[in-house]
Amino acid sequence: LDLCQHERMIATRVARPLIRLHPPRHRRPASVFQSIATPQYRRHSFGPLSNSAMSSTTSPPASTTIDSLGAPSRLSSNMRTLHWVTKIGSLRSSLRFYELVFGFRVLRHEEFETGCEATCNGPYGGAWSKTMVGLGDEKDNFVFELTYNYGIDSYRSGNDVVHFALAMPEAVPRAVALGYEVKYERGCPIVVGPDGYRYAIVDPAAGRAERFWGVCLRSSDLDKTREYWCGVLGMTEFPTPAGLADLGGGGRSLTVGWAPDQAHLRFVDPGDSVPVDHALASGRIANACRSVEPFHNAAVSTGLGGVLNPPVTLPTPGKADVVVTILTDPDGYEICFVGDEGFYDLAVPLYDKVDWDLRTRRGGDGAPAPGRKEATAGTKPGEGGIPTVTGVAETESLASSAPSGAADLEFGAMWCKNCT
């Protein structure tokens, strides 16, 4: 048996000819993260570039790869930053926040019986849902992908995501009126939403339609970050607007993206030598491209970062299939590249209705866990003669001590309310 250290095995000593395994539906534990505080309010705008902003840009490398459509498969005009994937503890609570504070709409919603092959829902194998929310069509708007894993109502957050930045000053009074926390950093309002995510609010920039400015992330080494995102992936370096240049703990920063009018990624190094911690709530950035293979090949050939998933086709029931590859940068941030043809067919807004009754029956969004049969009537793990074991050595010892030399094992993720 090759068992994850977080998976807990409940074994009953019984006479069985074989070891029978009941695989867990989840793989790792979770806990809650909270964040708070509030001083005064002062708007920041996308005004003149700050003195500390990067003044030069990094020219993307020329592409020599031609895809099946006859167009350059890297860095062509179809490159777009699409969305950020977030794990949430309650879809109902998250939708209340996004709809009422930012005016987002549910663009599409999908329910899945088993975990995503490309780990879109994280390293979990059970039922989950995906909900895309934003201001409009995903061809023109950066959006959020909200992933909910049934049975998990909270995750431990790390220090990786500093904040999301939106040009939406009207969100501040809405958040206050609805009882959400608004804190301030260097005079800039930071709205704190469900699951502890932070949203820096700035003024819109003249001529920029995209209201979502980008995602601010911690970097442990900006030089390596620049080498990977600009040198390997081919993003361009952009100046940081003055309204955001002082946020994120100070220190050096790097802003990258595909185009000036799209959402960007801003990496900050606070200079505290603290490593990046993705914990369990970590998300990923998704990008549309003409073909995913060149990005996968570039990551493999350079040896920087890593590959979570080589190119794979993902089906969505009743909708278009998409081809994706999942890479990681030197700090472990996950990057999804998805073929644009299939994705834009899949991403047509259907304004799906969420089946709340189904979610309640599955124990979702804070609802009670669905009933489950106990391993042995009237007993709990570790009680009534049912020992709890962890790891291969303990399992083999238990089996060898049984009269038949075998044991009947039941797996239970004790941190998952649907499994306990």
pLDDT at 308: 94
The better pLDDT of the pair 349, 416 is held by 349
- Tell me the mean pLDDT in the region 50-61: 36
Tens of pLDDT, residue by residue over 8-27, are 222 322 233 333 333 344 44
Compute CA distances 149 → 79, 273, 396, whole Å. 30, 33, 32
List C-alpha distances in Å: 364 to 25, 28, 361, 413.
15, 18, 7, 16
**Coil vs helix vs strand at 288:** strand
pTM equals 0.76
The predicted structure's pLDDT at residue 77: 62
Closest C-alpha to 336, from 296, 280, 282, 279: 296
Q: 104 near 86, Cβ under 8 Å?
A: no
Does pLDDT of 172 surpass 80?
Answer: yes
pLDDT at 225 over 90: yes
Query: What integer is the mean pLDDT of 351-377?
Result: 82
Radius of gyration of the chain (CA): 23
Phi, psi of 338 (to 5 degrees): -130, 135
Burial of residue 315 (CB within 10 Å: 0-12, 13-18, 19+) is exposed
C-alpha span between 70 and 78 (Å, rounded): 13
* pLDDT exceeds cutoff 60 at 40: no
Q: How far is Cα 238 from Cα 102, in angstroms, rounded to an integer?
A: 26
> For residues 235 and 250, which has the higher predicted lDDT (pLDDT)?
235
Q: Phi and psi of 134, rounded to 5°?
A: 180, -170
pLDDT class of 38 with cuts at 50, 70, 90: very low
Banded pLDDT at 419 (limits 50, 70, 90): low
pLDDT digits over 240-298, tens only? Answer: 877 787 787 667 899 999 999 999 999 999 888 899 999 999 899 999 998 899 899 99
List Cβ neighbours of 276 (8 Å cut-off, separation of 6 or more): 158, 159, 160, 218, 219, 220, 331, 332, 333
- Indicate whether 372 pLDDT > 60: no
